[in-house]
């Protein structure tokens, strides 16, 4: 589901799980392992991408029985928050390269990276909000600090927005052509000054707000509001 390869001095992590590239708990575990291995390889930049032209990732997936189980969701949340902390605290420059949809958990993971590059045709958003699926990384409270209030406003509406809106909000740093997209993304990663990012990220202190929100969420969490089947139908319809 997730693979790690060294390509021209770049640690390239590829998510590969069907056309929608949705992630379940196993996929999150694989992603965490790949990130940990890439970081242990040294200071080389990490390029996070997918093998699907439809989606970087359209979010979290599970069956309705599992997603309604607090224990299962807590495991997903633990994996998601660990991935976020790993990406945010790593001294490696991390680039998310998006060609297609980055929705829900897919967008959250991208937001944890240092740079997002995207094709013009890509789409972003948190439609999970309307289906009762929570944030699984805890990154959302940090969006106004890391990006902008405009970015947070776009995301919290739960609507899907395009690349131009994402760039204007500071989410996307560079728009690249869809033709030879992977080559463009790799070239961008190769131009990163790893030493500079190591200095910049050494002072990272995560927001404490998300931990307060996390605790509150699990106190009021109502599994009956989750509608995974409807979410899957929505993903397949767009």
Summarised one tens digit per residue, pLDDT across range 51-84 is: 998 999 999 998 867 777 778 888 998 999 999 9
At residue 65, the pLDDT reads 74
How many whole angstroms separate alpha carbon 98 and alpha carbon 12? 13
How many whole angstroms separate alpha carbon 180 and alpha carbon 117? 14
At residue 175, the pLDDT reads 95
How many whole angstroms separate alpha carbon 55 and alpha carbon 116? 14
3-state DSSP call for residue 132? coil
CB 100 within 8 Å of CB 53: yes
Summarised one tens digit per residue, pLDDT across range 87-112 is: 998 989 999 999 999 999 999 999 99
Summarised one tens digit per residue, pLDDT across range 2-18 is: 999 998 899 999 999 98
Residue with tokens 């139908």: 233
27 pLDDT above the threshold of 80: yes
Summarised one tens digit per residue, pLDDT across range 104-142 is: 999 999 999 999 999 999 999 999 888 877 788 989 888
Give whole-number Cα distances, 189 to 76, 117, 126, 193, 222, in Å. 29, 10, 26, 9, 42
**Beta strand residue intervals within the chain, DSSP E:** 2-7, 10-15, 46-50, 55-57, 94-98, 101-103, 115-119, 123-125, 161-162, 174-176
CB 202 within 8 Å of CB 130: no
At residue 170, the pLDDT reads 96
Q: How confident is the model at residue 200 (pLDDT cuts 50, 70, 90)?
A: low
Domain annotation for the chain: domains and CATH numbers? 2-196 (3.90.226.10)
- By the 10 Å C-beta count (0-12 exposed, 13-18 middle, 19+ buried), 120 is classed as middle
Name the pTM for this structure. Answer: 0.89
How many whole angstroms separate alpha carbon 188 and alpha carbon 87? 18
At residue 210, the pLDDT reads 53
Residues in the chain: 238
**Strand partners for 96:** 48, 116
* Mean confidence (pLDDT) of the chain: 87
**Strand partners for 119:** 176
At residue 221, the pLDDT reads 56
């Amino acid at each position: 589901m997730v693979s790690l390869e060294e390509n021209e001095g770049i640690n390239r992590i590829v998510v590969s799980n069907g056309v929608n590239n949705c992630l379940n708990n196993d996929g999150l575990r694989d992603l965490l392992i790949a990130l940990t291995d890439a970081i242990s390889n040294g200071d080389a930049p990490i390029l996070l991408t997918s093998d699907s032209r439809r989606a970087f990732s359209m979010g979290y997936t599970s069956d309705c029985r599992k997603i309604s189980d607090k224990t299962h969701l807590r495991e997903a949340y633990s994996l998601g928050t660990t991935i976020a902390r790993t990406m945010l605290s790593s001294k490696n420059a991390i680039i998310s390269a998006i060609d297609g949809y980055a929705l829900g958990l897919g967008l959250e993971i991208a937001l944890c990276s240092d740079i997002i590059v995207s094709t013009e045709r890509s789409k972003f958003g948190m439609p999970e909000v309307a289906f009762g699926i929570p944030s699984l990384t805890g990154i959302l409270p940090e969006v106004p600090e890391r990006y902008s209030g405009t970015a947070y406003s776009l995301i919290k509406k739960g609507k899907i927005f395009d690349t131009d809106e994402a760039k204007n909000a500071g989410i996307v740093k560079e728009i690249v052509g869809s033709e030879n997209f992977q080559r463009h993304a790799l070239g961008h990663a190769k131009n990163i000054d790893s030493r500079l990012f190591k200095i910049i990220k050494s002072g990272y202190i995560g927001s404490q707000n998300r931990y307060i929100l996390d605790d509150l969420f699990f106190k009021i969490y109502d599994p009956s509001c989750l509608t995974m089947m409807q979410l899957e139908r929505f993903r397949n319809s767009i």
